[in-house]
Every structure is written in C-alpha cells, then in structure tokens.
Amino acid sequence: MIAPSGTANAEIARIFREVADQLELTRANQFRIRAYRNAARTVEESGRSIASLALSAPKELEELPGVGADLARKIVQIVRTGSLPMLTTLERRAPKGATELLRVPGIGPRKARVLAQRLHVRSLGGLKRAARTGRVHKLRGFGAKTEKRILEELAAPAVTERRWLRARAAQYGDPLAAYMRDAPGTTRAELAGSFRRCRETVGDLDLLVASEDGPAVVQHFLAYPQVRRVTAHGTTRAAIQLTGGLNVDLRVLPPESYGAALHYFTGSKAHSIAIRTLGRAAGLKISEYGVYRGTKRIAGREEREVFEAVGLPWIPPELREARGEIDAARAGTLPKLVELRHIHGDLQVHTTDSDGRNTLEEMAEAAQELGYEYIAVTDHTPTVRIAGGLDRSGFRRQMRRIDSLNARLHGFTILKGAEVDVHADGTLDLNDATLAKFDIVLVSLHSSLALPPARQTQRIIRALRNPHVHLFAHPSARLINKRQPARFDLDEVCRVAASEGVLLEINAQPERLDLDDIGSRRAVELGASLTIDTDAHSVEELRFMRWGVDQARRGWVNRRDVVNTQPLDKLLARLRAR
C-alpha cells in the first residue's frame, strides 16, 4: 500500500537517526553511521516534502546532499510502507536494553553498549540502581563525575517524559493542522498548548477545531494517514499517536466558543487560573466554552474577548507563563515583541570552508532570497578540529573571496567574520592581529563545559573583554535533551557584555535556542543587546530564524533590543564602535 505524501520529513529523519544509533550500538563502520546521520539532517532540514519527491520523482532524491542511490531507495521504502525493515533487524542485534539508555543525555551508543553488556542494565530504572550503588563509576571510561551526572539526568522529567523539540513537532503538527482545516464544516483549526506558547520542547500537541459537526471532524481526524494508534475518540474529542510517536489530542468546539477554548487550552495553567480569578472578581465565569455572566454566554468567539472581559488587552501566547504579563497588560507596559519580518540579516553562518554544507556563494544567494540585507560568514577556528576550523591563512583566502563576491553583489553585503573558540583560560583561538581584520568576531564555548561556575564565569568575562570581540554566541553551549548547559553567573556575564558593548546571541538552532527565554529577558533587563542568528550550516538552516524569533518573544524581547533588526549602516556603526 502506498502511503500519501504527507509523511513528515521529520519522520524519515527519525528513522535514519535510529538506524545510525543502532549501527553504532553494533560497532558498524563509522562512515556508514555518518552517512545515515548526514542524510537524516539533510531530509529534516529540507524545505521540500521529501515524501512527495519520493513518490513523484524518486531519482531526484539521489541529488540531495549526502543521500545517493542506496539511501534514496530506503526513503522510498519508508514513504511507501511507513517503516524500514532494516531498522527492526538492527534493533534485534543490539545489546538488550541499550536502546532505552540512549534517552539519557550524555549516554551515546558506545556508553549504552558498555552499560548493557558489562552491567546488564536493561532499563532506566536499572541504570539508576547501578549508579546509586556505585557500579557505574567502576567501568573504564565512566568515572565518579559521569556517574553523578547520570543520576542528575535521570532525575530530570525530560528523560522519563519524552519531550519533543518544538521545531521537530512542527513537522508533524503543521501538516496535520492544515489537513484538519479541510474537514467538513470546519472554519478554524489551530495548535494550542505549549506549542502555541513557543516553548522549546513539547510533550504532545493540542489541536482545536471550530465546527458544528463534531462527529464528522473526528472521523476526518482519525482518517489522517499518519495515525499509528487511536487511543480515544468520541463525538467532539479524540486522541491519536502519530507514526513518529507524537501524541495529539483533538477537541471540536462550536465557533461561538472557539476563542475561549483557544485561550483555555493554550495555557499556561498558572496564566489561565489568574485570568479566571480576575473573571470571578468581576462576577464572571470563564471556561473553555465561553465567558458567562450567570447562565448567559457574553463572549468567547474570539480570544481577545476573554481578555476584554477582564479589562485587559490581548496578551501574546508566548508571554502567558504567569511571569508578570497580567500586571504588565494592566499597566499598559507589555513589550512590542520582535517579529520575523523585522530581521535584516543573519550574523552567524557557516560554509564549506569549515563544517558547512553549502558554499559561500550558495549561502549568500539563499540569504538574498529571504530578503536579507546582509549575512556574516563566521566559520570556525583551528581548535574546533571536528568542524575543520580555518587557520589565519585560510581566513585570509576566504576574505579575498568575500571581497570579490561583494564587488559583484547589489543591495546585499557579506560581512567577514569568524566563530572563535574560547580556550579554558579565556584566551582566544586567534591572535589580536588576526581578529582585527574581521568585520565581526563571535566567541563561543565548545569544550571545558564542566568547569566550576566561578572559573567558567572568569573564562567568559576574559574573552568578552578582548576589544576585538563583538558577539558571544550560544552562551551556555547547551544541546536540548542532549547536553546540559555550562554553568556560570549569567547576571555578571550580562553586565560585562553590556558595559563592553558585546552582543549576546539567541541561537535559533532548534537544539540550542540559547540564550533561553529567561536568559534573554534577564540580558535585556541588565542592559545587554541581543542578536538572533541561525548558526546555519546549510541554506535550509537559514529558515531556522523562525525558532530564534519565537524564543526571543518568550523572553519579552523588543525589536529595539535585537541588533540585526537594524539596516546595514546602523549595524556597521555599532560593530565599529566596539
């Protein structure tokens, strides 16, 4: 049976990533493992529907970076059947229990294999018992610090409760919402919950549909081609699990209740309780069905009516976390949040000169197509060997190419930059004479992330005080669900950044989103300025700007707080002032 072309890119990528994990568990060839990981990234980042391509023009799959004939055939197989038998075979060969251990951040396939084979750990509970009784640190390559970190990770809800990167969940949720807008009698369909509040991870999806014909909408929902399992259904509600394992709850509301339901199911819980409390003080009852005075519904068709009923302006969903947004709304001091349309350029972009997957020319062309005025090409420096960092002569050659390309461009400028590694003592990976030649210098942490907080703070501050440094990129170096952030005194770093005129980055990579929302808000409060950058390693990743803007909005960030909302002349003036 041929599955429809609605198979999400994320689903194909998930299967390829799991194949790579299983290959690593069985000690397969590293080049083969890398091939699946690279293909997964290519598929997930693609702006095209890979499933549609697989059905309509399968030979074109072979032209995708890192795919080729063999993986193209496997993509077609996944799209046509919904699975890949190879993955099932590999799972049978893997050490028993090792696959579950991969859910723990910091435990990769090699460590999972050792734990399963040497300690006979078969579950997360078994791992916790082994760590608590001191058996883990006795294994070669682990140690007491690793054992302690494992216990800390196992205590985090993200391990026991699967959390999806919001960007990954969107690849499942956005097509489903579009599909539901075609349901009989449907006037509106939107994703609510933490997804709508733009939280960086989501546990599941809440889908709200406005319709007078609940049973027809539910049947349409259950007929969605990517349903793996139906867990509940009635006349106005249903719950499913999609093929990738993401759970979705559907609620069908009459149009006159839709706005109230959208507010209710967007949350957060604390925000909703506060609004209902204001309603009770005004003699109103507010529920998912509307705003009532006694038994009469007086509002609820539109979400703004809920806020108006309690004397407030509409509050953007990203702010609804009970962090002062209601008081700000009452006082008329809600921020005018930054929007994607405000962005003039991207100040962290990588090319094939280091670890990027597209050339300098290709990245510039793609940025122009997005309507940008500028980008900064910021390839890595030598210490980051895995990224093929450039040395001084490599950067000089790149600068000459940038000058040549800029001479041919009209209305668009490539800034000469570098992402410079910060050594453990706070010194930088290039000397001052070389740094002085760049238009923009980013510094970032890639190693020694477990330094004690005081030493980490000193390291960062030393780097920020270098007069050639313009921007501190992905400050905590975290990878969501994979790596804990470096610990340092954020307030002190923000104060130094503000006094030195160094920009702090909100990195838009879905696995980073760093600074996070709380850190972004604190940075602005302490006088620091921000940039929102994609850290793009391919033309497709330039579109990640959406996720960075969403994170900034959660952090109460205004357009004026973000330097790359400025046109080129003002940006250059800011950089030169540094």
* Strand order through the sheet with 237-242: 186-191, 205-211, 247-253, 237-242, 227-233
Residues in the chain: 578
pLDDT for residue 252: 97
Domains of the chain: 9-93 (1.10.150.110), 98-160 (1.10.150.20), 164-331 (3.30.460.10), 340-577 (3.20.20.140)
Q: What is the dihedral of CA 542, 544, 548, 550, to 10 degrees?
A: 130
d(CA 291, CA 310): 10
pLDDT for residue 368: 97
Question: Is the pTM above the cut of 0.85?
Answer: yes
> Distance between the two ends of the chain, CA-based, in angstroms?
62
CA distances in angstroms from 189 to 171, 220, 448, listed in the order given: 16, 13, 47
pLDDT for residue 483: 86
CA-nearest of 330, 342, 201, 207 to 266 is 207
The percent of the chain in helix, strand and coil, each rounded to the nearest 5, is: 50, 15, 35
pLDDT for residue 2: 36
Is 498 in contact with 527 (CB distance < 8 Å)?
yes
CA distances in angstroms from 509 to 14, 251, 372, 515, listed in the order given: 17, 32, 18, 11
d(CA 399, CA 406): 10
How confident is the model over 312-330, as pLDDT tens digits?
Answer: 999 999 999 999 999 999 9
Centre a 10 Å sphere on the Cβ of residue 505 and count the other Cβ atoms it contains. 26
**Is the bond preceding 90 in cis, omega lying within 30 degrees of 0?**
no
- Structural element, H or E, at residue 258: helix 258-266
User: What are the residue ranges in the chain where pLDDT is below 70?
Assistant: 1-6, 157-161, 387
Q: What is the dihedral of CA 142, 148, 150, 153, to 10 degrees?
A: -150
How confident is the model over 253-280, as pLDDT tens digits?
Answer: 999 999 999 999 999 999 999 999 999 9
Contact residues for 299 (Cβ-Cβ < 8 A; gap 6+): 259, 260, 290, 291, 305, 306, 308, 309
Core vs surface per residue 259-279: b (16+ CB within 10 A) or e = bbbbbbbbbbeebbebbbebb
pLDDT for residue 157: 64
In the block, tokens 């949720």 appear at 173
Characterise 82 by phi-psi region: left (phi > 0), alpha (psi -120 to 50), beta (else). left
On the CB side of 359, how many CA atoms lie within 13 Å of its CA?
6
> Two tokens at 212?
């007078």
